[in-house]
Structure 1
Amino acid sequence: MTPAARDAVRAAPAAALYECVVAHTRTAPLRHAFRHRTYLWCVDLDRLPVLPPLLRPLARFDARDHFTGDSDSIRAGLDAYLASHGIGLDGGHVVMLAHARVLGYVFNPLSVYWCHDASGTLACVVAEVHNTYGQRHCYLLHPDEAGETEVDKEFYVSPFFTVEGRYRMRLPLPGEELRLAVQLRTAVGRPFTATVRGRRRPASAVALLRCAARRPWSTAAVWAGIRRHAIRLWLRGLPVQPRAEGTSPSRPCGTRTAPPR
């Protein structure tokens, strides 16, 4: 990393909180939409926050929650995943957006990693998707300057969608505002869109306590909310789409997958 890039990384805050609104909109075969509020951490993987002992139950970052789950750190898991695709960052910094483990539990529908090389240039983005069945899958992405990219859907997420179509993603690096979008596109149209909107807050003890008070046990609430809306859709008659027989529902985030087109 060049001295200027290294100085810029050191000068940037190592962690921030984003109080967010997450919106899901389904347009076919039934119309259904919901919004929920939560908060996300944005951290430098090489400078994870060290909280006072009394606050540590409110935010833990564990390697077991990402990639293959058996690395010594989240950064090591990411580096192993990238190496399996022939990518080396040579010590470049990585920004992760994700939920932390709260009161012993975490659920991350989407974790995003902005991966920079030694010069400070964005080399790639990794989108790590978790479903409510305890499985995870990674997409290796190369967005354009606006943070936009497309990739084939490869992972069974919602029980109401088959594993077909393509995702159109907009994943710009977070700044003062967080504005992410993921849209599923299939042969019949654009049946699903998810957006995340938020504003940056300093990751202070006071800010964390405020977020935890407003959204207690936030990660469990996210998991429960997804399940609750799935039950509503099922009660409305939306058929469950079984996984294709003889195919794996997921690949561990450490094995090689086909590169995005």
Structure 2
Amino acid sequence: MGLADMEDGRLYRTRVMHRRLFPVDYRFIYRVFSLVVDVDRLDALDRRLRLLSVNRFNLLSLDDRDHGARDGTPLRPWAETQLAQAGVDLDGGRIFLLAFPRVLGYVFNPLSLFYCLHRDGSLRAIICEVSNTLGDCHHYVLHNQDQPMDWPVRASQDKLFYVSPFIEMDARYQFRLSEPGQGLSVLIHEYQQSKLMLAASQTGHVRPLTDHELLKAVATMPLMTFKVIFGIHWQALKIWWKGGKYYSKPSSSSEEMN
């Protein structure tokens, strides 16, 4: 049950965990639900589901303005441009987006992933779309020089984008990303001077993408996207209260693809 077997989309009920080890030690966990959707079949989802719409208001919605160029243009041409700059050619292969949907018109996605498959079904790249609460975003393209990538994907990247006011820019990420199938697993470790400083994960299990399952998810996790942004600010307040050092946004912080 891999990505190549997916029709138009899947629902994942998951748990997000953050653990910071120094200089302030804290850990928090919250439940969320995410969608994995084929970016070329969003119109089919829009027609098939009553509770989920595309580019229009509903209880749940997906909007092109929340990802990619963030100007409402389709996601596939944008993704293909990013891939071309990295030397990756999918030859018309499928692209899947992992993200939170809007709930009552609101969403904040700290991390969204574009899984990019070649026409032959092999994984060729993952675009990691990182956003901060200031409205900025940055895209890291994980790839293997236009060659197939093995699951789970293991990759590392220097930190080039300001995310948290309590974490220095001098850091490096390590990713471990599994193929969304029966389960979902996204693991990210952040290191400072080769020392693990932050561990974050999103793990869970698949559910059919139906109106019934969407309603159950909303009923058990109401106002989920509002909870995400509130939780980020609440944890920041606790770090500040515990004496965490504040780092201002650097003026040279890049928002381009890496």
Same fold (TM over 0.5): yes
Residue type of the alignment partner of 1:247 = S
Matched with 1:17 is 11
Displacement after TM superposition at 1:14 (Å): 1.8
Displacement after TM superposition at 1:144 (Å): 4.5
List alignment gaps of at least 5 residues for structure 1.
Answer: 1-7
Identity of aligned residues (%): 36
**C-alpha separation in 2, matches of 1:30 and 1:92:** 44
Matched with 1:90 is 91
Matched with 1:216 is 222
The answer to whether structure 1 residue 169 and structure 2 residue 175 are counterparts is yes
Matched with 1:130 is 131
Aligned to 2:103, the other structure's residue is in SS state coil
**C-alpha separation in 2, matches of 1:173 and 1:224:** 29
**C-alpha separation in 2, matches of 1:18 and 1:54:** 16
**C-alpha separation in 1, matches of 2:150 and 2:122:** 13
Match of 2:161 among 144, 155, 160: 155
Write the mapping of 1:217-236 to structure 2, written as runs, cut at 5 A: 217-236=223-242
Matched with 2:34 is 40
**C-alpha separation in 2, matches of 1:26 and 1:162:** 13
**C-alpha separation in 2, matches of 1:198 and 1:54:** 22
What TM-score do you get using the length of structure 2 for normalisation? 0.88
**C-alpha separation in 2, matches of 1:211 and 1:21:** 13
Aligned to 2:112, the other structure's residue is in SS state strand
**C-alpha separation in 2, matches of 1:180 and 1:22:** 9
Residue type of the alignment partner of 1:64 = R
**C-alpha separation in 2, matches of 1:113 and 1:176:** 18
Displacement after TM superposition at 1:91 (Å): 1.3
**C-alpha separation in 1, matches of 2:118 and 2:135:** 31
Displacement after TM superposition at 1:171 (Å): 0.8
Aligned to 1:96, the other structure's residue is in SS state strand
List alignment gaps of at least 5 residues for structure 2.
Answer: 144-148
Residue type of the alignment partner of 2:201 = T
Matched with 1:76 is 77
Q: 1:102 to 1:30 in 2, by over 3 A?
A: same
Contact 1:67 1:136 in 2 (8 A): no
Match of 2:213 among 207, 216, 222: 207
Displacement after TM superposition at 1:53 (Å): 4.4
Displacement after TM superposition at 1:233 (Å): 0.9
Matched with 2:146 is none
Aligned to 1:60, the other structure's residue is in SS state strand
Aligned to 1:72, the other structure's residue is in SS state coil
Contact 2:49 2:210 in 1 (8 A): no
**C-alpha separation in 2, matches of 1:12 and 1:251:** 32
Matched with 1:3 is none
Per-residue CA distance 1:40-75 (angstroms, 9 max, x = gap): 001111112225445531332211111221252122
More strand, by proportion: 2
Q: 1:53 to 1:205 in 2, by over 3 A?
A: closer
**C-alpha separation in 2, matches of 1:220 and 1:213:** 14
Contact 1:162 1:243 in 2 (8 A): no
Residue type of the alignment partner of 2:108 = F
Between stretches 142-151 and 197-206, larger displacement belongs to 142-151
Residue type of the alignment partner of 1:46 = D
Displacement after TM superposition at 1:20 (Å): 0.7
RMSD between aligned residues: 1.8
The answer to whether structure 1 residue 198 and structure 2 residue 204 are counterparts is yes
**C-alpha separation in 2, matches of 1:180 and 1:66:** 19
Contact 2:51 2:211 in 1 (8 A): no
Match of 1:247 among 243, 248, 252: 252
Residue type of the alignment partner of 1:47 = R
Q: 1:25 to 1:54 in 2, by over 3 A?
A: closer
Contact 2:52 2:61 in 1 (8 A): no
